[in-house]
A and B are shown apart, each in its own frame.
Chain A
Amino acid sequence: MTQEAIKRVETYGTPLYVFDAKVLQERIRYLKAHLPEAIELAYAVKANPFIIGAAEPFVERLEICSPGEAEICLKMQVPAQKMVISGVYKTPAFIEALVREHPDIGVYTVESLAQYRLLTQLAKQSGQRLELLLRMTSGNQFGMEEQEVTAILANPDPCVHIRGIQFFSGTQKTSLKKMQRELLRVQTVLERYPVEELEFGPGFPVYYFEGEDFDEDAYLDTFAEMIRPLMTGRKVVLELGRSIAAGCGTYYTRVVDQKRNREGNFALVDGGIHQIAYYGQFMAMKMPPIETEPPRARDGEVWNICGSLCTINDILIKQLPAEGLAVGDILSFGKAGAYSMTEGMALFLSRDLPAVVLTTEAGDVLLRDHTETYGLNMPQ
Protein backbone atom coordinates (compact mmCIF):
# COMPACT_ATOMS: atom_id res chain seq x y z
CA MET A 1 0.00 0.00 0.00
CA THR A 2 1.24 3.54 -0.69
CA GLN A 3 1.95 5.97 2.15
CA GLU A 4 -0.94 8.03 0.83
CA ALA A 5 -3.33 5.08 1.04
CA ILE A 6 -2.18 4.19 4.55
CA LYS A 7 -2.68 7.77 5.69
CA ARG A 8 -6.15 7.78 4.16
CA VAL A 9 -7.12 4.62 6.04
CA GLU A 10 -5.79 6.10 9.30
CA THR A 11 -7.72 9.34 8.69
CA TYR A 12 -11.09 7.86 7.83
CA GLY A 13 -10.93 4.55 9.69
CA THR A 14 -11.90 1.07 8.55
CA PRO A 15 -14.03 -0.41 7.11
CA LEU A 16 -13.62 1.98 4.21
CA TYR A 17 -14.36 2.22 0.49
CA VAL A 18 -12.15 4.47 -1.60
CA PHE A 19 -13.11 5.36 -5.16
CA ASP A 20 -10.46 6.93 -7.35
CA ALA A 21 -11.85 9.54 -9.75
CA LYS A 22 -8.68 9.59 -11.83
CA VAL A 23 -8.72 5.81 -12.31
CA LEU A 24 -12.40 6.05 -13.26
CA GLN A 25 -11.79 8.75 -15.82
CA GLU A 26 -8.81 6.88 -17.27
CA ARG A 27 -10.99 3.78 -17.57
CA ILE A 28 -13.69 5.61 -19.53
CA ARG A 29 -11.00 7.10 -21.77
CA TYR A 30 -9.54 3.63 -22.36
CA LEU A 31 -12.93 2.14 -23.27
CA LYS A 32 -13.70 4.96 -25.68
CA ALA A 33 -10.27 4.64 -27.28
CA HIS A 34 -11.04 1.02 -28.20
CA LEU A 35 -14.56 1.62 -29.43
CA PRO A 36 -15.71 3.27 -32.67
CA GLU A 37 -15.56 7.02 -32.27
CA ALA A 38 -19.28 7.66 -32.72
CA ILE A 39 -20.27 5.23 -29.94
CA GLU A 40 -21.80 6.85 -26.88
CA LEU A 41 -21.66 5.53 -23.33
CA ALA A 42 -24.44 5.26 -20.77
CA TYR A 43 -23.23 4.62 -17.22
CA ALA A 44 -25.55 2.26 -15.33
CA VAL A 45 -25.61 3.97 -11.93
CA LYS A 46 -26.71 0.78 -10.17
CA ALA A 47 -23.07 -0.35 -10.35
CA ASN A 48 -22.02 2.48 -8.03
CA PRO A 49 -24.04 5.62 -7.39
CA PHE A 50 -21.23 7.30 -5.41
CA ILE A 51 -19.20 7.92 -8.55
CA ILE A 52 -22.01 9.54 -10.52
CA GLY A 53 -20.46 12.99 -10.06
CA ALA A 54 -17.02 11.81 -11.17
CA ALA A 55 -18.34 9.86 -14.18
CA GLU A 56 -21.00 12.21 -15.49
CA PRO A 57 -18.82 14.63 -17.47
CA PHE A 58 -17.19 11.73 -19.33
CA VAL A 59 -20.25 9.75 -20.41
CA GLU A 60 -23.16 10.75 -22.61
CA ARG A 61 -25.92 9.23 -20.48
CA LEU A 62 -26.70 7.78 -17.10
CA GLU A 63 -29.03 4.84 -16.79
CA ILE A 64 -31.45 5.03 -13.88
CA CYS A 65 -33.51 2.10 -12.69
CA SER A 66 -35.43 3.31 -9.64
CA PRO A 67 -36.93 6.40 -7.99
CA GLY A 68 -33.99 6.36 -5.55
CA GLU A 69 -31.46 6.43 -8.37
CA ALA A 70 -33.41 9.24 -10.04
CA GLU A 71 -33.30 11.25 -6.79
CA ILE A 72 -29.55 10.76 -6.49
CA CYS A 73 -28.97 11.88 -10.07
CA LEU A 74 -31.18 14.92 -9.69
CA LYS A 75 -29.49 15.87 -6.40
CA MET A 76 -26.09 15.39 -8.06
CA GLN A 77 -27.29 17.80 -10.75
CA VAL A 78 -27.06 15.37 -13.62
CA PRO A 79 -28.52 17.22 -16.62
CA ALA A 80 -32.00 15.81 -17.28
CA GLN A 81 -31.20 15.26 -20.97
CA LYS A 82 -28.54 12.76 -19.93
CA MET A 83 -30.93 10.64 -17.90
CA VAL A 84 -32.33 7.34 -19.21
CA ILE A 85 -35.29 6.32 -17.07
CA SER A 86 -35.12 2.55 -17.17
CA GLY A 87 -36.40 -0.08 -14.77
CA VAL A 88 -38.70 -3.07 -14.80
CA TYR A 89 -40.94 -1.51 -12.14
CA LYS A 90 -42.08 2.04 -12.93
CA THR A 91 -44.96 3.41 -10.91
CA PRO A 92 -47.38 5.92 -12.47
CA ALA A 93 -46.64 8.36 -9.63
CA PHE A 94 -42.89 8.21 -10.22
CA ILE A 95 -43.11 8.72 -13.98
CA GLU A 96 -45.83 11.35 -13.65
CA ALA A 97 -43.65 13.41 -11.28
CA LEU A 98 -40.67 13.17 -13.63
CA VAL A 99 -42.71 14.15 -16.68
CA ARG A 100 -44.16 17.09 -14.81
CA GLU A 101 -41.03 18.39 -13.09
CA HIS A 102 -38.36 17.47 -15.65
CA PRO A 103 -39.75 17.80 -19.16
CA ASP A 104 -36.30 17.53 -20.68
CA ILE A 105 -35.56 14.03 -19.40
CA GLY A 106 -33.59 12.28 -22.12
CA VAL A 107 -35.50 9.07 -22.70
CA TYR A 108 -37.77 6.50 -21.01
CA THR A 109 -37.46 2.78 -21.59
CA VAL A 110 -40.46 0.53 -22.12
CA GLU A 111 -40.21 -2.85 -20.40
CA SER A 112 -43.74 -4.07 -21.02
CA LEU A 113 -47.01 -3.29 -22.79
CA ALA A 114 -48.32 -1.90 -19.49
CA GLN A 115 -45.38 0.51 -19.34
CA TYR A 116 -46.05 1.50 -22.97
CA ARG A 117 -49.67 2.28 -22.10
CA LEU A 118 -48.56 4.27 -19.04
CA LEU A 119 -46.03 6.34 -20.97
CA THR A 120 -48.32 7.03 -23.94
CA GLN A 121 -51.10 8.04 -21.55
CA LEU A 122 -48.81 10.42 -19.63
CA ALA A 123 -47.56 11.82 -22.93
CA LYS A 124 -51.14 12.60 -23.96
CA GLN A 125 -52.04 14.11 -20.58
CA SER A 126 -48.96 16.32 -20.37
CA GLY A 127 -48.82 17.31 -24.01
CA GLN A 128 -45.15 16.26 -24.08
CA ARG A 129 -43.97 13.99 -26.86
CA LEU A 130 -41.98 11.58 -24.65
CA GLU A 131 -38.89 9.87 -26.07
CA LEU A 132 -39.05 6.07 -25.74
CA LEU A 133 -36.73 3.11 -26.14
CA LEU A 134 -38.44 -0.28 -26.48
CA ARG A 135 -36.65 -2.96 -24.56
CA MET A 136 -36.48 -6.28 -26.36
CA THR A 137 -36.23 -9.31 -24.10
CA SER A 138 -33.34 -11.74 -24.12
CA GLY A 139 -35.69 -14.38 -22.69
CA ASN A 140 -36.26 -13.47 -19.06
CA GLN A 141 -38.41 -11.16 -16.94
CA PHE A 142 -37.13 -8.06 -18.70
CA GLY A 143 -38.32 -6.40 -21.87
CA MET A 144 -40.90 -7.38 -24.46
CA GLU A 145 -41.12 -10.14 -27.02
CA GLU A 146 -39.87 -9.33 -30.52
CA GLN A 147 -43.43 -9.43 -31.92
CA GLU A 148 -44.62 -6.95 -29.28
CA VAL A 149 -41.72 -4.62 -30.08
CA THR A 150 -42.27 -4.80 -33.83
CA ALA A 151 -46.03 -4.35 -33.42
CA ILE A 152 -45.35 -1.04 -31.66
CA LEU A 153 -42.76 -0.05 -34.26
CA ALA A 154 -45.20 -0.84 -37.08
CA ASN A 155 -47.88 1.35 -35.55
CA PRO A 156 -46.42 3.78 -33.02
CA ASP A 157 -48.68 6.04 -30.96
CA PRO A 158 -48.18 9.55 -32.37
CA CYS A 159 -48.14 11.05 -28.85
CA VAL A 160 -44.69 9.55 -28.25
CA HIS A 161 -41.49 9.32 -30.24
CA ILE A 162 -40.05 5.80 -30.48
CA ARG A 163 -36.37 6.65 -30.52
CA GLY A 164 -35.22 3.05 -30.82
CA ILE A 165 -34.56 -0.27 -29.18
CA GLN A 166 -32.84 -1.25 -25.95
CA PHE A 167 -31.25 -4.66 -25.48
CA PHE A 168 -29.33 -6.06 -22.52
CA SER A 169 -28.90 -9.73 -21.74
CA GLY A 170 -26.61 -9.91 -18.73
CA THR A 171 -23.28 -9.19 -17.14
CA GLN A 172 -19.84 -10.81 -17.45
CA LYS A 173 -20.20 -11.66 -21.13
CA THR A 174 -17.00 -13.55 -21.74
CA SER A 175 -18.23 -15.17 -24.96
CA LEU A 176 -18.09 -12.82 -27.91
CA LYS A 177 -19.58 -15.57 -30.08
CA LYS A 178 -22.76 -15.49 -28.00
CA MET A 179 -22.84 -11.72 -28.17
CA GLN A 180 -22.50 -11.87 -31.95
CA ARG A 181 -25.63 -14.05 -32.15
CA GLU A 182 -27.53 -11.55 -29.99
CA LEU A 183 -26.38 -8.64 -32.13
CA LEU A 184 -27.53 -10.41 -35.28
CA ARG A 185 -30.98 -10.88 -33.74
CA VAL A 186 -31.18 -7.21 -32.85
CA GLN A 187 -29.86 -6.24 -36.28
CA THR A 188 -32.64 -8.09 -38.11
CA VAL A 189 -35.25 -6.13 -36.16
CA LEU A 190 -33.44 -2.84 -36.77
CA GLU A 191 -33.22 -3.53 -40.49
CA ARG A 192 -36.98 -3.98 -40.78
CA TYR A 193 -37.82 -0.87 -38.76
CA PRO A 194 -35.54 2.11 -39.21
CA VAL A 195 -35.09 3.77 -35.82
CA GLU A 196 -32.61 6.39 -34.71
CA GLU A 197 -31.02 4.55 -31.90
CA LEU A 198 -29.88 1.27 -30.37
CA GLU A 199 -29.04 1.20 -26.70
CA PHE A 200 -27.08 -1.99 -26.10
CA GLY A 201 -25.69 -3.40 -22.89
CA PRO A 202 -22.72 -5.58 -23.89
CA GLY A 203 -21.94 -6.75 -20.33
CA PHE A 204 -18.18 -6.47 -20.81
CA PRO A 205 -16.54 -8.83 -18.28
CA VAL A 206 -14.27 -7.88 -15.42
CA TYR A 207 -11.71 -10.49 -14.44
CA TYR A 208 -11.42 -10.26 -10.69
CA PHE A 209 -9.42 -13.25 -9.62
CA GLU A 210 -5.87 -14.56 -9.48
CA GLY A 211 -5.04 -16.96 -12.25
CA GLU A 212 -7.40 -15.39 -14.76
CA ASP A 213 -6.04 -14.04 -18.04
CA PHE A 214 -7.79 -11.47 -20.15
CA ASP A 215 -6.55 -9.63 -23.22
CA GLU A 216 -8.98 -6.76 -22.91
CA ASP A 217 -7.53 -4.82 -25.86
CA ALA A 218 -8.19 -7.78 -28.15
CA TYR A 219 -11.67 -8.35 -26.69
CA LEU A 220 -12.69 -4.72 -27.24
CA ASP A 221 -11.18 -4.58 -30.72
CA THR A 222 -13.18 -7.67 -31.73
CA PHE A 223 -16.31 -6.18 -30.19
CA ALA A 224 -15.74 -2.89 -32.04
CA GLU A 225 -15.83 -4.75 -35.36
CA MET A 226 -19.02 -6.57 -34.32
CA ILE A 227 -20.88 -3.40 -33.39
CA ARG A 228 -19.85 -1.35 -36.41
CA PRO A 229 -22.49 -2.76 -38.83
CA LEU A 230 -25.23 -1.76 -36.41
CA MET A 231 -24.03 1.83 -36.44
CA THR A 232 -24.95 2.45 -40.06
CA GLY A 233 -27.70 5.04 -40.13
CA ARG A 234 -28.23 5.14 -36.38
CA LYS A 235 -26.71 6.07 -33.05
CA VAL A 236 -25.46 3.28 -30.81
CA VAL A 237 -25.20 3.82 -27.06
CA LEU A 238 -23.47 1.20 -24.92
CA GLU A 239 -24.74 0.73 -21.38
CA LEU A 240 -21.97 -0.22 -19.00
CA GLY A 241 -21.80 -0.47 -15.23
CA ARG A 242 -19.36 -3.09 -14.00
CA SER A 243 -16.82 -2.47 -16.73
CA ILE A 244 -16.71 1.26 -16.00
CA ALA A 245 -16.77 1.14 -12.21
CA ALA A 246 -15.03 -2.01 -10.93
CA GLY A 247 -11.45 -0.87 -11.30
CA CYS A 248 -11.75 2.43 -9.43
CA GLY A 249 -12.73 0.92 -6.07
CA THR A 250 -10.77 -0.43 -3.11
CA TYR A 251 -12.16 -1.77 0.17
CA TYR A 252 -10.10 -1.56 3.34
CA THR A 253 -10.68 -3.58 6.47
CA ARG A 254 -8.54 -4.21 9.55
CA VAL A 255 -7.64 -7.41 11.40
CA VAL A 256 -9.13 -7.13 14.90
CA ASP A 257 -8.70 -10.63 16.30
CA GLN A 258 -6.87 -13.84 15.57
CA LYS A 259 -7.19 -17.47 16.51
CA ARG A 260 -5.52 -20.72 15.67
CA ASN A 261 -7.32 -23.99 16.17
CA ARG A 262 -7.26 -27.44 14.67
CA GLU A 263 -9.32 -26.23 11.72
CA GLY A 264 -6.76 -23.63 10.78
CA ASN A 265 -5.86 -19.99 11.29
CA PHE A 266 -8.63 -17.42 11.45
CA ALA A 267 -8.19 -13.68 11.19
CA LEU A 268 -11.29 -11.65 12.07
CA VAL A 269 -11.68 -8.28 10.37
CA ASP A 270 -13.92 -5.33 11.17
CA GLY A 271 -15.67 -5.60 7.80
CA GLY A 272 -17.26 -8.67 6.24
CA ILE A 273 -19.66 -10.04 3.67
CA HIS A 274 -22.26 -7.46 4.68
CA GLN A 275 -20.03 -4.86 3.09
CA ILE A 276 -18.24 -6.50 0.19
CA ALA A 277 -19.00 -9.18 -2.38
CA TYR A 278 -17.32 -10.33 -5.56
CA TYR A 279 -19.47 -11.78 -8.31
CA GLY A 280 -18.30 -15.33 -8.99
CA GLN A 281 -15.93 -15.58 -6.04
CA PHE A 282 -17.17 -19.13 -5.71
CA MET A 283 -17.62 -19.53 -1.97
CA ALA A 284 -14.56 -17.38 -1.18
CA MET A 285 -12.35 -19.88 -3.01
CA LYS A 286 -11.11 -17.43 -5.61
CA MET A 287 -8.50 -14.81 -4.75
CA PRO A 288 -9.35 -11.18 -5.59
CA PRO A 289 -6.58 -8.53 -5.71
CA ILE A 290 -5.40 -8.33 -2.09
CA GLU A 291 -2.73 -6.34 -0.34
CA THR A 292 -1.67 -6.41 3.26
CA GLU A 293 -0.20 -3.55 5.24
CA PRO A 294 2.39 -4.07 6.58
CA PRO A 295 3.27 -6.21 3.57
CA ARG A 296 3.25 -9.87 4.60
CA ALA A 297 5.07 -12.55 2.60
CA ARG A 298 2.53 -14.37 0.41
CA ASP A 299 3.72 -17.79 1.54
CA GLY A 300 4.14 -19.64 4.77
CA GLU A 301 1.13 -19.73 7.04
CA VAL A 302 -2.31 -19.32 5.54
CA TRP A 303 -5.16 -17.39 7.09
CA ASN A 304 -8.90 -17.64 6.66
CA ILE A 305 -10.10 -14.05 6.60
CA CYS A 306 -13.47 -13.87 8.28
CA GLY A 307 -15.74 -10.91 8.78
CA SER A 308 -17.53 -9.58 11.81
CA LEU A 309 -20.87 -11.28 11.16
CA CYS A 310 -22.03 -14.15 13.32
CA THR A 311 -22.48 -16.57 10.49
CA ILE A 312 -20.24 -19.34 9.27
CA ASN A 313 -20.68 -17.92 5.78
CA ASP A 314 -18.78 -14.76 6.61
CA ILE A 315 -15.53 -15.75 4.97
CA LEU A 316 -13.93 -13.16 2.72
CA ILE A 317 -10.96 -15.27 1.67
CA LYS A 318 -10.09 -18.88 2.34
CA GLN A 319 -6.47 -19.76 2.98
CA LEU A 320 -4.77 -16.47 2.19
CA PRO A 321 -1.00 -16.97 2.40
CA ALA A 322 0.17 -14.16 4.71
CA GLU A 323 3.12 -15.02 6.89
CA GLY A 324 2.94 -13.22 10.21
CA LEU A 325 -0.46 -11.60 9.68
CA ALA A 326 -1.27 -9.77 12.92
CA VAL A 327 -4.00 -7.84 14.68
CA GLY A 328 -3.91 -4.28 13.40
CA ASP A 329 -2.93 -5.25 9.86
CA ILE A 330 -4.91 -3.62 7.06
CA LEU A 331 -6.25 -5.69 4.18
CA SER A 332 -7.10 -3.95 0.94
CA PHE A 333 -9.41 -5.53 -1.63
CA GLY A 334 -9.08 -4.23 -5.19
CA LYS A 335 -11.51 -4.05 -8.13
CA ALA A 336 -14.27 -3.35 -5.63
CA GLY A 337 -15.82 -0.39 -7.45
CA ALA A 338 -18.86 -2.08 -8.99
CA TYR A 339 -21.66 -3.78 -7.05
CA SER A 340 -19.31 -4.95 -4.30
CA MET A 341 -20.82 -2.47 -1.86
CA THR A 342 -24.44 -3.21 -2.46
CA GLU A 343 -24.42 -6.96 -3.02
CA GLY A 344 -23.64 -7.65 0.63
CA MET A 345 -26.38 -8.10 3.25
CA ALA A 346 -25.91 -4.60 4.55
CA LEU A 347 -28.50 -4.61 7.35
CA PHE A 348 -27.56 -7.93 8.90
CA LEU A 349 -26.57 -7.71 12.56
CA SER A 350 -27.41 -3.98 12.44
CA ARG A 351 -23.76 -3.21 11.77
CA ASP A 352 -22.53 0.15 10.52
CA LEU A 353 -22.12 0.89 6.83
CA PRO A 354 -18.51 1.58 5.83
CA ALA A 355 -17.26 5.10 5.16
CA VAL A 356 -16.91 6.09 1.49
CA VAL A 357 -14.21 8.43 0.20
CA LEU A 358 -13.62 9.78 -3.30
CA THR A 359 -10.04 10.58 -4.07
CA THR A 360 -9.41 13.21 -6.71
CA GLU A 361 -6.44 15.27 -7.87
CA ALA A 362 -7.69 18.05 -5.63
CA GLY A 363 -7.71 15.79 -2.57
CA ASP A 364 -10.03 13.41 -0.72
CA VAL A 365 -13.75 13.96 -0.35
CA LEU A 366 -15.71 12.10 2.32
CA LEU A 367 -18.87 11.02 0.50
CA ARG A 368 -20.40 9.12 3.40
CA ASP A 369 -19.14 8.68 6.96
CA HIS A 370 -19.49 5.39 8.87
CA THR A 371 -23.26 5.14 9.22
CA GLU A 372 -25.37 3.28 11.76
CA THR A 373 -28.09 1.00 10.45
CA TYR A 374 -29.71 -0.22 13.66
CA GLY A 375 -32.40 2.47 13.40
CA LEU A 376 -33.69 0.75 10.27
CA ASN A 377 -33.96 -2.61 12.02
CA MET A 378 -36.35 -1.50 14.71
CA PRO A 379 -39.81 0.05 14.93
CA GLN A 380 -39.63 3.50 13.37
Chain B
Amino acid sequence: MDELLEILEEIAPGVDFENCTTLIDDHKLDSLAILALVAELEDAFDITIPTVEIIPANFNSAEAMWEMVERLQEEA
Protein backbone atom coordinates (compact mmCIF):
# COMPACT_ATOMS: atom_id res chain seq x y z
CA MET B 1 0.00 0.00 0.00
CA ASP B 2 2.91 2.33 0.80
CA GLU B 3 4.47 1.57 -2.56
CA LEU B 4 1.14 2.34 -4.21
CA LEU B 5 0.88 5.69 -2.43
CA GLU B 6 4.41 6.55 -3.52
CA ILE B 7 3.56 5.81 -7.14
CA LEU B 8 0.39 7.89 -6.90
CA GLU B 9 2.16 10.86 -5.34
CA GLU B 10 4.75 10.83 -8.11
CA ILE B 11 2.16 10.75 -10.87
CA ALA B 12 -0.19 13.32 -9.34
CA PRO B 13 1.51 15.28 -6.57
CA GLY B 14 -0.67 17.26 -4.23
CA VAL B 15 -3.73 15.03 -4.36
CA ASP B 16 -4.96 13.64 -1.02
CA PHE B 17 -4.61 9.95 -1.89
CA GLU B 18 -4.94 8.81 1.74
CA ASN B 19 -8.52 10.08 2.03
CA CYS B 20 -10.01 10.86 -1.36
CA THR B 21 -12.64 8.40 -2.64
CA THR B 22 -13.65 10.33 -5.75
CA LEU B 23 -10.37 10.41 -7.68
CA ILE B 24 -12.16 9.54 -10.95
CA ASP B 25 -15.57 11.08 -10.29
CA ASP B 26 -13.96 14.42 -9.43
CA HIS B 27 -11.31 14.20 -12.12
CA LYS B 28 -8.42 14.35 -9.66
CA LEU B 29 -6.73 11.94 -12.06
CA ASP B 30 -7.00 12.67 -15.77
CA SER B 31 -6.68 10.17 -18.65
CA LEU B 32 -2.93 10.74 -18.98
CA ALA B 33 -2.39 10.18 -15.26
CA ILE B 34 -4.45 6.99 -15.39
CA LEU B 35 -2.52 5.58 -18.32
CA ALA B 36 0.78 6.39 -16.63
CA LEU B 37 -0.52 4.87 -13.41
CA VAL B 38 -1.62 1.65 -15.10
CA ALA B 39 1.83 1.23 -16.65
CA GLU B 40 3.50 1.82 -13.28
CA LEU B 41 1.22 -0.56 -11.40
CA GLU B 42 1.72 -3.31 -13.97
CA ASP B 43 5.46 -2.91 -13.67
CA ALA B 44 5.72 -2.54 -9.89
CA PHE B 45 3.32 -5.36 -8.98
CA ASP B 46 3.84 -7.76 -11.89
CA ILE B 47 0.23 -7.73 -13.02
CA THR B 48 -1.73 -7.06 -16.18
CA ILE B 49 -4.57 -4.57 -15.88
CA PRO B 50 -7.11 -5.22 -18.66
CA THR B 51 -8.79 -2.12 -20.11
CA VAL B 52 -12.15 -3.19 -18.71
CA GLU B 53 -10.72 -3.00 -15.20
CA ILE B 54 -9.99 0.71 -15.66
CA ILE B 55 -13.27 1.80 -14.12
CA PRO B 56 -14.28 4.19 -11.32
CA ALA B 57 -14.94 1.29 -8.92
CA ASN B 58 -11.26 0.32 -9.12
CA PHE B 59 -9.66 3.75 -9.31
CA ASN B 60 -11.74 6.11 -7.21
CA SER B 61 -9.52 5.60 -4.17
CA ALA B 62 -6.08 4.26 -3.29
CA GLU B 63 -7.80 1.55 -1.29
CA ALA B 64 -9.84 0.42 -4.29
CA MET B 65 -6.70 0.37 -6.42
CA TRP B 66 -4.91 -1.75 -3.84
CA GLU B 67 -7.79 -4.23 -3.70
CA MET B 68 -7.64 -4.51 -7.48
CA VAL B 69 -3.86 -5.04 -7.42
CA GLU B 70 -4.14 -7.80 -4.83
CA ARG B 71 -6.97 -9.48 -6.74
CA LEU B 72 -5.07 -9.40 -10.02
CA GLN B 73 -1.95 -10.79 -8.32
CA GLU B 74 -4.00 -13.67 -6.94
CA GLU B 75 -5.66 -14.40 -10.27
CA ALA B 76 -2.32 -14.52 -12.06
Q: Which A residues fall within an 8 A CB radius of B?
A: 211, 262-264, 266, 282-283, 285, 304, 312-313, 315, 318-319
Contact = CB atoms under 8 A, between A and B. Distances in A.
B60 to A, nearest CB: 10
Interface in B34-56: 34, 50-56
B34 A283 contact: yes
B75 A312 contact: no
B9 interface: no
B67 interface: no
A263 B31 contact: no
B31 A283 contact: yes
Contacts of A319: 52, 55, 57
Nearest to A304: B52
A211 B25 contact: yes
A312 B50 CA distance: 10
Contact of B24 (A262, A282, A312): A282
Contacts of A263: 50, 52-53
Contacts of A211: 25
B52 A262 contact: no
B56 A312 contact: no
User: Which DSSP category, helix, strand, loop or mixed, fits chain A's interface?
Assistant: loop
Contacts of B56: 285
A165 to B, nearest CB: 33
B51 A315 contact: yes
A137 B51 CA distance: 39
A312 B51 CA distance: 8
Nearest to A282: B31
B24 A318 contact: no
A285 B24 contact: yes
20 contacts: A262-B75, A263-B50, A266-B52, A282-B24, A282-B27, A282-B31, A283-B54, A285-B24, A285-B54, A285-B55, A285-B56, A304-B52, A312-B51, A313-B51, A318-B51, A318-B54, A318-B55, A319-B52, A319-B55, A319-B57
Given A282-B31, A283-B34, A264 B54 contact: no
A283 B25 CA distance: 13
B71 to A, nearest CB: 12
Nearest to A263: B50
Nearest to A314: B51
Nearest to B24: A285
A330 B31 CA distance: 29
Nearest to B75: A262
Contacts of A285: 24, 54-56
B59 to A, nearest CB: 8
Nearest to B51: A312
Contacts of B55: 285, 318-319
Given A264-B50, A285-B54, A315-B52, 20 more contacts: A211-B25, A266-B52, A282-B24, A282-B27, A282-B31, A283-B31, A283-B34, A283-B54, A285-B55, A285-B56, A304-B52, A312-B51, A313-B51, A315-B51, A318-B51, A318-B52, A318-B54, A318-B55, A319-B52, A319-B55
